[in-house]
């Protein structure tokens, strides 16, 4: 067994993981983590207080954006598995709170490959083949709206293929990015029925696995499922590719990255279990871009490939997880 994903709750109180044993685990961050580690010189062990077995391997997870440690009713996240609807879980009770599903042309339930809550917490955006289904969080069941990424099944216009990643701009403008396994990237608005524009196709051969906006909302970072590089676009000048960061991967496993809350650093793991941190402030400030991202720190984190790396939203902490088949 090994961990595949790890993500902090928006308030930083919990860590949500998925693993190869088809379980979603929730860990609570001790309030004295920093002081205990400084006093003992060794990391404090984390024990999951919830282990929620899913029906199949987990395709996607996402935290409810208004998680509040002092209100257990908000300790919620969504999960998606193959051939099953999306479930909304309460991490406090360990029970399913709601179910959201989409159907294909034959009336059979289909799985979502990407999940993202709208920043206001009222809507859930889910990625399928050639479409985004939008659910009202307070009304379980079928989607209230469908955004078609291509006009018709046989059309060459728009975005084709399975939606693999969805990310909202943190500036709360309602802008969100959609990436597909067919290697296309589109920008959409929550108030418009179709794409605002399509970015220049990134040189990623095996499909996009992650997209993430910078904290300021001006830049979009992308990477592929088995690709070495993380690419950065300036969405204010959509044809402008700023820079790329070449990582050491050499594995078909999905290796995610993260940008810290200040927007200055980008972190990613490697196949060898090393955590690499880049200073990306130089390329973003240079006009025109003449400076490459600077590798400022590299340290051993695990003894196997690091699948996920994520900065804590408020504390000087980073979560990583490792393992591969």
pLDDT value of position 7:
96
The listed range with the strongest mean pLDDT (11-25, 29-43, 138-152) is 11-25
Share of the chain above pLDDT 90, in %: 56
- Alpha-carbon span 305 to 60, nearest angstrom: 20
Say if residue 263's pLDDT is above 70: yes
- Alpha-carbon span 297 to 217, nearest angstrom: 25
Ordered by start, the domain boundaries in the chain are 1-148
pLDDT digits (tens, 9 = 90+) for 74-121: 999 999 998 899 999 999 999 999 999 998 777 788 899 999 999 999
Q: How confident is the model at residue 239 (pLDDT cuts 50, 70, 90)?
A: low
Q: Which residues contact 97 (CB under 8 A, 6 or more apart)?
A: 76, 88, 89, 90
Q: How confident is the model at residue 37 (pLDDT cuts 50, 70, 90)?
A: low
The beta-carbon contacts of 246-255 under 8 Å, at least 24 apart in sequence, are 247/276, 248/272, 248/274, 248/276, 251/226, 251/305, 251/324, 252/225, 252/226, 253/305, 253/307, 253/324, 253/325, 254/4, 254/209, 254/210, 254/225, 254/307, 255/223, 255/305, 255/306, 255/307
pTM, 2 dp: 0.92
Say if residue 281's pLDDT is above 80: yes
Q: Which of 207, 112, 111, 127 is nearest to 168 (CA)?
A: 127
Question: What architecture is the 1-148 domain classified under in CATH?
Answer: 7 Propeller (2.130)
3-class secondary-structure state, position 85: coil
Rg (CA), the chain: 19
- Alpha-carbon span 81 to 87, nearest angstrom: 9
pLDDT digits (tens, 9 = 90+) for 303-312: 888 889 999 9
- Alpha-carbon span 272 to 296, nearest angstrom: 18
């Amino acid at each position: 067994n090994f961990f595949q994903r790890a993500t902090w709750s928006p308030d930083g109180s919990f860590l949500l993981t998925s693993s190869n044993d088809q379980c979603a685990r929730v860990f609570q961050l001790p309030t004295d983590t920093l002081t205990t580690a400084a006093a003992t010189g060794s990391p404090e062990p984390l024990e999951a207080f919830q282990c929620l077995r899913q029906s199949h391997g987990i395709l996607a997870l996402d935290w409810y954006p208004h998680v509040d440690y002092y209100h257990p009713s908000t300790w919620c996240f969504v999960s998606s598995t193959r051939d099953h609807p999306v479930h909304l879980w309460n991490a406090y009770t360990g029970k399913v709170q709601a179910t959201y599903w989409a159907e294909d042309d034959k009336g059979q339930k289909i799985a979502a490959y990407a999940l993202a809550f709208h920043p206001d917490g009222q809507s859930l955006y889910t990625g399928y083949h050639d479409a985004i289904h939008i659910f009202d969080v307070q009304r379980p069941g079928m989607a209230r709206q469908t955004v078609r990424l291509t006009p018709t099944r046989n059309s060459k216009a728009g975005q084709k293929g399975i939606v693999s990643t969805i990310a909202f701009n943190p500036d709360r403008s309602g802008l969100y990015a959609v990436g597909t396994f067919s290697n296309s990237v589109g920008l959409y608005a929550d108030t418009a029925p179709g794409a605002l524009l399509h970015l220049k196709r990134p040189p990623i051969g095996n499909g996009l696995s992650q997209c993430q906006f910078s904290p300021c909302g001006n830049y979009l970072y992308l990477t592929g499922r088995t690709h070495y590089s993380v690419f950065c676009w300036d969405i204010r000048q959509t044809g402008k590719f700023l820079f790329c960061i070449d990582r050491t991967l050499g594995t078909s496993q999905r290796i995610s990255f993260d940008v810290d809350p200040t927007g200055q650093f980008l972190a990613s793991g490697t196949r060898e279990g090393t955590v690499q941190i880049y200073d990306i402030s130089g390329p973003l400030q240079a006009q025109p871009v003449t400076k490459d991202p600077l590798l400022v720190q590299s340290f051993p984190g695990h003894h196997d490939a690091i699948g996920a790396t994520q900065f804590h939203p408020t504390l000087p902490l980073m979560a990583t997880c490792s393992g591969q088949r």
